[in-house]
Structure 1
Amino acid sequence: MTADTCHQPGLLSVDQARAQLQLSIAPLSETESLPLELACGRVLAAPARSRLDLPTCDNSAMDGYALCGEAPYVVVGKSLAGHPYRASLNSGECVRITTGAALPDGADRVVMQEQAQLQAGQLLLNKATKAGDHVRYRGEDVRAGDMLLECGRRLGVPDIALLAAAGVGAVTVVRRVRAALLSVGDELRPLDTAPEALGIGDIYDSNRIALKATLQQLGLEIIDLGCLPDQPAAIRDALAQARDRADIIISSGGVSVGEADFTRAVLEELGQLELWRLAIKPGKPFAFGRLPKQNGETLFFGLPGNPVSALVTLYQLVLPALEKLQGVSAEKCQPPFTSRARLLNPIRKSPGRTDFQRGYTYRDDDGIQVVKSTGIQGSHILSGFAEANCFIVLPQHSGNCETGDWVTVEPFRKPLI
């Protein structure tokens, strides 16, 4: 088997890197109060409790009739959502009732309208009923004062719905992370450059655009520092400026060992380097460090310059670290969901690095989860990434895979989808 040319002693595994990042990052302590409708995606910094019982009263789960006692029944009124029947029912009385309407005093069950019929002023039942049928009881979901959501929870739409129903109009959340974003490379050009104006070897600064789109989905406050040349002084000035304005700095390019790769060296001048060169493919030249400042420190994440490598390392390493910084509870900062799928094509791999190949997974006609590679797997090939819906995760010390082998797949989740 051909040796992996990037397999070198001392490379940190992906799992080790994730664990080290989780241990070395402290959540932000500053908070803010937000109206509930603006809080989706934010992380709770104070527990949320219900202000009332849910449901707020005994009510009907169906359109039908609320009954009291035993048949025969006489219809004496109606109870509609927002317009309850105010009197108490006596045995043998019933009211027309709609879904969600309050159950009158004395009623203990509801018969569906399809199972009853009015005849000569009386309600006749087509089916026997018992106490509790189609009744939603006060407080059966939530009681006033109950803890609804604890600190460290990233609020989703169901959470917002629950809090709104429980009368919670505002929540305390961790403030937004301030992220400075920059690209490094003499060959990079802005998107408004005409193709014919590109020099030999020039490329568009796609990494910064893709990284910015990612971070915007995560609700970060972005400080866009643009594209820098391969000049230590320019990089030093940008990092010093970003250090004082941001909680984190995310750069792409300049962290490898090339003649013009200066970002890592500048980082070590201004602060300290804690992680560099991981056993991950694509993306070995990933850097993590700290830049001390007057009121604390700014975290630095240096991503590779190849576009696929930048996105893979952002997704696999930076996003879990960001969740920790945002205050997401420890049990939620876990490795992403994976499953098993049968491989539809052979994959060449040498031991040495965990490989995150881009794939497309689906269930075949027999209901079996299958996966296939999407295009060439080079770290510069974005078309295959765009066609993919998952990573095919090949363990660090594994080798080639053949058609029919079972492999681990990690379906894409936000913000890649």
Structure 2
Amino acid sequence: MLTARLTSRDVRRVNRSTVLHAIYRAGAISRLQLSQSCGLSVATVTNVVTELLAEGILLEAGLEASDGGRPRVLLRLNREYGYFLGVEIGETDVVVEIFDLTLRNLRTAHFFLYGEENHPQKAVQYVIEGVTSLLTALAIPAEKVLGMGLGVPGLVDHADNDAVLAPAWHWQRVPLKALIGQSLRIPLFLDNGAKTMALAEMHKREAVTRDETMIVLNLGTGVGAGIIYEGTLYRGKTNSAGEWGHTVVALDGAPCRCGHRGCLEAYIGATAIIRRFRESASSSLLSSAEDEMQALTAILAAAQHGDGAAIEVLHDTAHYLGAGLANLVNLFNPQYMILGGWVGTLLGPYLLSQVRQCVARYALAAPFEATQILVSQLGKDAGSIGAALLAHESFLTSDIPTNDTQQSISLATL
């Protein structure tokens, strides 16, 4: 089998990426520590660091105390070198966040999406408005933006210019990247929202190693999963892995938005939970609710105050959710399963004990014992954080810059 030979430029790029990742993880680190953690010679590290200091990507950040020797200079990323944008286009809202080079969140723009507004043009409009308002508020020049990631509903076909397929929204191969690119000439990265959430959780949990598997559940109006398999995001052949909400839990059961029947989403999605409650109780409890989040919050509050109908509906939700999680336990044998998304973070603390009992009932004993079921601590920002990671990782692994590779960025109105 033929193996491509690495050029000297390839080696420099790999060394540069290795050093940048190590400094990002450490926060502040000396050249000697870099050499030890990266497995590179001190001379190689010195050459890479010299280039990064000259480019302004790194800064010297004081001295590290030593045991009798000369104090060592610490290095850190220059937070103001450049910025990343993370966007989550969800079922009910659009969130745009801006991060510095260390992925510290600086500011958020939030737009609510109502049912009639879930068309591509509206989503693009909100993204552009969010980016413009954030850069203006923080007085950040557009050319300092290094990239933007987007978490989107449905499937993203990377083989077809990142076309977005979201049947529930009637999006058929929407060229979202091209639409945004008409107004923002900036490196753009798209992926399914459940996958970006999984990246955010993996980033938070540094203990997730190459030997571990983690599944992040995006529970909202829709239902999906992001699968981290042995430390890497698992995508499948067509990037559609993780459509867990459309696994069947009841043959010829409740109708689902996808057009089939009996899908898990038709039992644990926000719309399904609210529908069951309306069918079993007086709708007066939800009369003042303006959207699904308010309605589900009201149901949770009613259950916590002893309302029988609310308790029963949430118990049924835990039952179906537990069965769905048990299937994942048996299939993937994960170390972690994280309940995320706005429904997961809202109902998770209340349902967690019941869900664990249901998973234990349906999963095989050995893999269940090896699985921790947790509620996400990232809240609603998980999708946008994960989206920003798409762009951030591209920067950390990017090629060595040349004088003519400066990316021009312009902002224009739609």
Superposed pair shares fold, TM > 0.5:
no
Structure with more of its chain in helix, by fraction? 2
User: Based on CA coordinates, which of the two structures has the bigger radius of gyration?
Assistant: 1
Q: Give the structure-2-normalised TM-score.
A: 0.30
Structure with more of its chain in strand, by fraction? 1
